Amino acid sequence: MELPNSAILAEAAQTVYKNMLPSPQIQWPLLSQRCGCQVWVKHENHNPTGAFKVRGGLVYLASLRSRVPAVTGVVTATRGNHGQSIAFAASRQGLQSVVVVPEGNNPEKNLAMQALGAELIIHGKDFDEAAPYTRVLAKERGLHRMPSFHLDLVAGVASYALEFFRAQPDLKRVYVPIGLGSGICGMICARNALGLSTEIVGVVSDRADCYAQSLAGGRCIETPTANTLADGMAVRVPNADALNIIADNVARIVTVTDEQVLSAISIYFSDTHNIAEGAGAAPLAALLKEKKLNRGAKVGVVLSGGNIDRALYMRALGDSVSK
C-alpha cells in the first residue's frame, strides 16, 4: 500500500485547520523528572472532540463530499472517539451520521456523540461485532458505510504528527497507542515524509494484543476477547492494511496492563493536571515500562484522548491514593 506523500499530507492538514487549531506539545518538568528523561506530550486531548480522531473524520468526509456529491449520510462503528469525529465532521458537511456502538459502551462517549448530532445504535458485545452491522444499516438506509481505517483517515490524522515532528524534530522515539491503526500509521507517514529517524513504538493492552501477536506472527491474528478498560485499544481483529504499514515501519509493539494504564492516568493528573483516557495514557505507561531504555533521552508520547468516564477516572485517582 502506497502511503500518503508530503503533498497529500499538506492538503489534508489544510482541511483540518479550516475546522480546528493545532494541538500543543508540552514538556512537563514533573513528568520528565519522574520518567528520567525529557518527555514531550502531544496533547490531542485538547482537540474539539477531546481526541485525535477528529482530524481523520474531517479529511475523509471532505473527500467523500467531493467524490460523491449526492451522499446524504454515513454510518460507522465506534467505541466513541471515531464516532465523535464523524458526527463533528458530518455536521460541517450537512450529512446525517449514524454510529453503531457495542453493548456497555462508555456512556459519556455515547452522550457526546449524540450531542454532536449522531444517531446512536447499540449492537453486539464488542467493536468487532458492532462493525459488521454497519453493512446492514448502510444497505437499509442508503448510507455510505464508513470504515474505521482508510488512507484518508490516516492522512488527516497525520497532521498531529507533522505538528509534533516539526516542533520537536530530534525526538529519539515516540510512543503511540494502537486501536485499529490510523493514529500510528499517521505518525509513520509524517515521519517518513519528513525524512526523520525517530523510532516509533506501538502500544497495546495485554488484554487486546492482536497487533502485537500479528506483528510477531507475520500475519493477522484475531484474539478471542479485548476486555480492556482502555476502550480506544479494545480491538480483537487487526486491519490487514494497517498491519502491513506497522510491520514495515515500527521498532516494536509494547504491551501494557490495565493497572499500568490506571497508574499513567493518575500520573497525568498529578504531574500535568491533564485528563487522559485509557488509550491516551497507554503510551506513558509504555515509556515508564521502558524507563531504563529512555534514561536521558528526548522522548515523545501521544496523549491521544481525554474522553474517560467519571467512574473509571475516579478509580484511577483512588487507586493512586490508596497505594
Reply yes or no on whether the pLDDT at 168 is more than 90. yes
- Measured CA to CA, the distance from residue 8 to residue 6 in angstroms comes to 6
pLDDT at residue number 102: 94
User: What confidence score (pLDDT) does residue 5 get?
Assistant: 95
What integer pLDDT is reported at residue 54 of this predicted model? 97
pLDDT tens-digit readout, 187-228 = 999 999 999 999 999 999 999 999 999 999 999 999 999 999
Amino acid at 271: D
Q: pTM for this one?
A: 0.95
Contact 160, 59 (CB under 8 A): no
DSSP 167: H
How much is the average pLDDT of 287-307? 98
Q: What is the pLDDT, as a whole number, of residue 2?
A: 86
Beta-carbon contacts of residue 160 (< 8 Å; ≥ 6 apart): 23, 42, 44, 52, 55, 186, 302
- Summarised one tens digit per residue, pLDDT across range 151-166 is 999 999 999 999 999 9
Please report the pLDDT score of residue 321 as a whole number.
Answer: 53
Q: Are 34 and 271 in contact (CB under 8 A)?
A: yes
CB-based contacts of 16, cutoff 8 Å, min separation 6 = 55, 58, 59, 156, 159
**Which residue, among 156, 182, 185, 188, has the nearest Cα to 17 in the 3D structure?**
156
pLDDT band at 116 (very low <50, low <70, confident <90, very high): very high
Give me 286's grid cell: 509504555
Q: What pairs with residue 99 in β-bridges?
A: 76, 120
* Residue 115 burial (10 A CB sphere; 0-12, 13-18, 19+): exposed
For 105-263, strand residue ranges (E) read 119-122, 144-145, 173-177, 199-205, 252-256
Q: How many CB atoms lie within 10 A of CB 303?
A: 30
Grid coordinates belonging to 199: 523510532
Cα–Cα distance between 175 and 115 in angstroms, integer? 32
To the nearest whole percent, how much of the chain has pLDDT over 70? 98
Mean pLDDT, the chain, integer: 96
With contact defined as beta carbons under 8 Å apart, do 285 and 260 qualify? Answer: yes
Which is it for strands 252-256 and 199-205: parallel, antiparallel or unpaired?
Answer: parallel
| Structural domains of the chain in order of their starting residue, each with its CATH number | 6-52+151-322 (3.40.50.1100), 54-145 (3.40.50.1100)
Contact in structure between 72 and 96 (CB atoms under 8 Å): yes
The predicted structure's pLDDT at residue 320: 59
165 contacts 196 by C-beta, under 8 angstroms: yes
- Whether the CB-CB separation of 144 and 69 falls below 8 Å is answered with no
Identify the CA nearest to 37 among candidates 49, 47, 25, 28.
Answer: 28
pLDDT for 1 equals 75
Q: What's the pLDDT score for residue 323?
A: 52
Q: What is the mean pLDDT of residues 4-24?
A: 97
